[in-house]
Every structure is written in C-alpha cells, then in structure tokens.
Amino acid sequence: MMFAARYFSSSPPVFQRLFFTSEEAVSIQYGPRRMKLRDLMGATLRFLQSDCEKFRVLWDWSACVSQLLTSDVMTNLSSLVLVDATCQNLRRLSMAVASQKPVLLEGPIGCGKTALVYLAAVTGHVKAPDILKVQLGDQTDSKMLLGMYSCTDIPGKFVWQPGSLTQAVSKGYWILLEDIDHAPLDVLSVLLPLMENKKLTIPGREDCIQTAPSFQFFATRRTFYSGGAWHRPQSSHAALLDKYWSKLQIGNMSREELKQVLMKRYPNLAVVVERLLDIYCQLTGDRHQTSSSPQGPSAAQNISDEHITSLEGRGLSLRDLLKWCERICLNFDSSCASTAQNVFLEALDCFTAMLSKSESRLKMAEIIGSKLNISREKAQHFCQMYLPGISVTELEVSVGRAMLLRKQSDTVRLSM
C-alpha cells in the first residue's frame, strides 16, 4: 500500500482509465489486457477502504460523475429528455450532494429544478432513496414539518405523529422543500439549527435527532425576469439561510435544446416544431434564445424588453409549451385544412386562459394568429366571440374539441 500511495501521488487515479476510450465502451483497453469496468471500480473501492482520508483528497472524483448517467435513468424517467444542459446540471448537483451540504436550486419557473432532484435520486443508486416533497407557503407552519400529537380511538390518549422533516432526518430520506422563499419565520427557525448543527430539535419533546447518514436536504427558489436579467426575491426571510446552502443556478433551455425535447417527445410534430417554437419564443421574449448555461440571478443579459409580451399573474414556461404540444399531437394531420385553426385554439387555452384582462388576451391572440396565417379579424373572433359547439349522442358528449364517452347503463331494455 505504501508503494501504491507513492505511485498515485504523481499518477492519475484508477478510475481515470475509464476515460482513455469511449465512456460507452463495455470494456476498457489498458496495458496488455482488457480491463472491465467492475475491475477498475473494485480496485478504487479497495484503495478507499484502506485509506479513505488520503485518497478522498488526493484524487479528483469529479471524473466519475459522468458514469452516473446510466441506462436506468431512461428506464425510470422515460419522459425526460437528457439534453446537454440537463446532464451538466446533474453533474453539478451530484457534486453538491457529495459535499453533504443542503442544496438550494435557483431558477425560473418550469426550468426543471424539481425534476433534477428526482433524476439525481434514480441515478447511480442501486436503490433510489425515498423523497419527501413539501410545498411551502404563507400558511405552512413548523408542525407540518416536525409533527404533532393526534387523538386516538381511546378518549384522552394521544400519539405522536412525526412530520415530513422528522421522518426524513430520522430515516435518512431525501426531502425537497419547494419555494423556500415563501417559508414563514416559524419554519425557518426550525431549519436554521438543522443546517448549522445537523441536528433536529423538536420543541416540547426534548428530542434532538441526529441526521441519518443518507439524509439530504434540498430546497428550490424561483428567480424572476425583469429588466433583462434574472433576480431573486428581495423581501424574503429565507435570506437568513443563504450562507448554509450549496447553491445551484439553473437556467432556461436554449431554443436548440427545446427543439430536441419536442422532437423526441412528439415526433409526429416534426414538420411544425420550428413554427411552434417561433410562437413560444415570441411570447416569452428572448429568454430561450441564448445559451442555457447557469448564470447568477442578477447577471445582465443583452435582451430587448420590446420583444417581451407582458403578462399579469405569471409568465409562460416550458410547462405551458409541453401542455400545448400534448394537446395538438393528438390526431395531428399537417395536410388537413383545419389543423392551423385547432393549433390556434389550443394555444389560446394554454397561453391566454390565465389572463384576466381581455386586452392582454387579444394581444396574445393576434401574435399567435400572425404566426399561423390567421387573420387579425379571425383571431379577434375566436378570442372574444367564439362559442364551442355542443353535441350529445347515445355514446358520447362533445364540447368544442373535447369528447367524453357516456357511461352506458347496465340495464338491458326489452322492447316489445
């Protein structure tokens, strides 16, 4: 072992041999014989077991992260398309998890923060860890996370029911707190000692729970687009926890990556993908035109605000685009004369239905119609005066483009 320590002090680590040839190769050519993946990783494990502290610092383990992208990812998350940005974010998240620090994922709505955590859970694990997800809000209190006493069938007897955070800490689960910037001070007062000391204190029970080895704490925080840059919420109590996070910035996909996603998930829309992206990018501005590499929330971008359609309530995201494609891919026929009209009507439902002002809906409708060769007058008609047709038959009920099957009676009628 002393000889091995001297040798590896100036030589690449054992697992570095994996990258002398293609990462997808079944076996690796090294020296006079072919070495298999399990041989290299077995040797790596033996060195770690012999002197963990030495080899943990001596070797650069980031090279192993790419080996986590195994075929089991697509088996468990078949609907997820692994574009370059997703793979890069997964590598960065893996390094953050390896540091055993709480991880904060920051990015705009719909950029894939939650999906990335679930992807990391099923990647590189023999058994995926259990994940508990909690959506935080103004009405969330510490009892939801810590637990509370609940009554039983026996009068006067109460039992302790642990909350989501207590279960995760004690059993070694992963826990994901969505929208940490919406958490009240009551919740932050519980999280602060956990992040400082890796111990969970439950008031009133005199319990101090040490975190299990496999416990991992994640949280998400939305960033907002304004003035050509992404910004995090300023008036948020969650800033008290900023120094304890290992932060991961996640950006929107580029237009080319959006095209890859749509082509993979909706191959029957291949002939109109460019037109669909033209409409979506026109409605969202230039947020998807640039590279999806991570940028700080205050990093300025050369974006012109005149191309961004203002929306009250919320902005459009990848979720809206995928919902739109899900709708129009059903019975899509590019040669049919009514296809453009159906695509336009689905776009109105997905992109304008949440708008309260009729002026905003009309503006959006005109933008969408101009890309689909629909006249301004026709777009105004569908936006303001269109009423869907209703048809009821013995077998089905049709309302506009939606069709529901009628429940058939189990009673058999006998006509005389």
Name the band, by pLDDT with cuts 50, 70 and 90, for residue 67: low
pLDDT on residue 55:
77
Per-residue pLDDT of 312-328, as tens digits, reads 556 788 999 999 999 99
Contacts of 328 (CB under 8 A, 6+ apart): 269, 342, 343, 346
Q: How far apart are CA 198 and CA 68, in angstroms?
A: 27
Please determine, for residue 72, whether its predicted confidence score (pLDDT) is greater than 60: no
Name the band, by pLDDT with cuts 50, 70 and 90, for residue 1: low
Please determine, for residue 394, whether its predicted confidence score (pLDDT) is greater than 80: yes
Name the band, by pLDDT with cuts 50, 70 and 90, for residue 288: low
Name the band, by pLDDT with cuts 50, 70 and 90, for residue 22: very low
Per-residue pLDDT of 117-127, as tens digits, reads 998 888 766 67
Output the CA–CA distances (angstroms, integers) from residue 254 to 257, 258, 274, 282, 283, in the order listed. Answer: 5, 6, 13, 14, 15
Percent of the chain with pLDDT over 90: 25
| Sign (positive or negative) of CA dihedral 291, 294, 299, 305 | positive
pLDDT on residue 217:
94
Output the CA–CA distances (angstroms, integers) from residue 269 to 275, 317, 324, 325, in the order listed. Answer: 10, 19, 12, 8
pLDDT on residue 265:
92
Per-residue pLDDT of 332-391, as tens digits, reads 888 888 888 899 999 999 998 888 888 888 998 999 999 998 999 998 888 888 888 899
Reading phi first (left if > 0) and then psi (alpha if -120 to 50, else beta), residue 190 is in alpha
Percent of the chain with pLDDT over 70: 76
Name the band, by pLDDT with cuts 50, 70 and 90, for residue 205: confident
Tell me the fold of 67-249: Rossmann fold (3.40.50)
Please determine, for residue 243, whether its predicted confidence score (pLDDT) is greater than 70: yes
Domain residue limits, the chain? 1-59, 67-249, 255-386
pLDDT mean across residues, the chain: 79
